[in-house]
Amino acid sequence: MRTNDPNIYAGGDCVEIRNLISGENMLMALGSLANRQGRVIATNINGGQSHFSGTVGTFCLKIFDLGVAKAGLTYRQARETGFDPVYAVVAQADHAHFYPSSEMIYISLLADRKSRKILGIEAAGKNGDAVKARVDSLAVLLRHGVDVDEVCGLEVGYAPPFASAMDVINNAGNALDNILSMQNRPVDAADFLVEFAAGKAKVLDVRGAREASPFIKKYGDKWINIPQAELRKRVESIAKDEPLFLLCDTGPRSYEAQVFLNSKGIQNTRNIQGGYAMIKVIEPEFV
């Protein structure tokens, strides 16, 4: 934190610091960074040796009743830096779904296509502490340039009041791994809404008949319901060349359906990231 004058140090909101993902200098006005920089400066002034290495850009905030957090680069920042970014979106309960007070948490995990290096994470949910915990765990990994496999295998604490047995952060890694290995051909929920409204493809809903019923009533033959348990028996009713959006509640069942359909030569499908849970956040009046 020493300036070009060896007798002057600078820290806080007005100094440039190094982004450890992009390697570029940036401004990051946060009290947490300022306090850590102050510690480094004080150590050096008093004859010690300390160094502030930079930041991965971790922050959190509250927007009304929603907790939001981020670390690393956004998709746009990654592209501008020269990466070829790929992202996965997952929606999942922040702790065991059967435990009282669980809330949905939404995570977007970003990696470079070629190197599989993790570039960033964004998360939102009503339980702000749960949102911050997931982003903080990734922020530590981001400093070390890890790839997506490290996120898939990340060890986090588990008990039903605090997490699911397969934590949402691990599932984000798994979903991104599936996309990078081209097992999962995804479509963003926002892009789906635009394309579906334009009539570019029908929806294959693999949820139960009761869940799909209001959608069929509203969208008619644009909405096909084949519950996942019946897919093997009814696969012959699906045209091989017909473009389809695959949908379930949050994404895992529709991904499994996509893998099965691939094996039957039905490959013109895209899996809606985050499923209906993500759609209703973006467009509450969809049904």
pLDDT digits (tens, 9 = 90+) for 74-121: 999 999 999 999 999 999 999 998 999 899 999 999 999 999 999 999
Same-domain pairing of 132 and 98: yes
Q: Is pLDDT above 90 for 286?
A: yes
Give me the CATH number covering residue 253: 3.40.250.10
Query: Is 63 found in the same domain as 51?
Result: no
Question: Quick check: is 123 in a domain?
Answer: yes
Q: What is the pLDDT of residue 223?
A: 98
Q: Is 116 left (phi over 0), alpha (psi -120 to 50) or beta?
A: left
Contact 118, 150 (CB under 8 A): yes
Of 206, 213, 197, residue with least CA distance to 275: 206
- pLDDT of residue 275 exceeding 90, the answer is yes
Do both 2 and 88 map to the same domain?
no
Asked if residue 287 belongs to a domain, the reply is no
Phi then psi for residue 25, to 5 deg, are -80, 150
- Per residue in 206-215, pLDDT (tens digit) is 999 999 999 9
- Tell me: do 118 and 203 sit in the same domain: no
Question: Do 82 and 171 lie in a common domain?
Answer: yes
Q: Are residues 78 and 152 in the same domain?
A: yes
Residue pair 280/286 in contact (Cβ under 8 Å)? The answer is yes
Residue 97, pLDDT score: 86
User: Smallest Cα–Cα separation from 1: which of 35, 31, 44, 30?
Assistant: 44
Do 38 and 80 belong to one domain? no
Structural domain count, the chain: 3
Mark whether 220 and 201 lie in a shared domain: yes
How many C-beta atoms lie closer than 10 Å to residue 157's C-beta?
9
244 and 201 Cβ atoms separated by less than 8 Å: yes
Residue 88 belongs to a domain with what CATH number?
Answer: 3.50.50.60
The span from the CA of 45 to the CA of 14, in Å, is: 20
Element (DSSP H or E) covering residue 202:
strand 202-205
Residue 168 included in any domain: yes
Same domain, 47 and 113: no
pLDDT tens, position by position, 133-187: 999 999 999 999 999 999 999 999 999 999 999 999 999 999 999 999 999 999 9
Asked if 42 and 108 sit in the same domain, the reply is: no
Residues 6 or more apart whose Cβ sits within 8 Å of residue 107? 89, 90, 92, 121, 122, 123, 134, 168, 169, 172
Q: What are the two backbone dihedrals, phi and then psi, of residue 254, each rounded to the nearest 5 degrees?
A: -70, -30
Considering all CA atoms of the chain, what is the largest pairwise distance in Å, rounded to the nearest integer? Answer: 78
The structure's pTM equals 0.93
Q: Supply the range of the domain harboring residue 127.
A: 59-180
Element (DSSP H or E) covering residue 32: helix 31-45
Q: Are residues 152 and 76 in the same domain?
A: yes
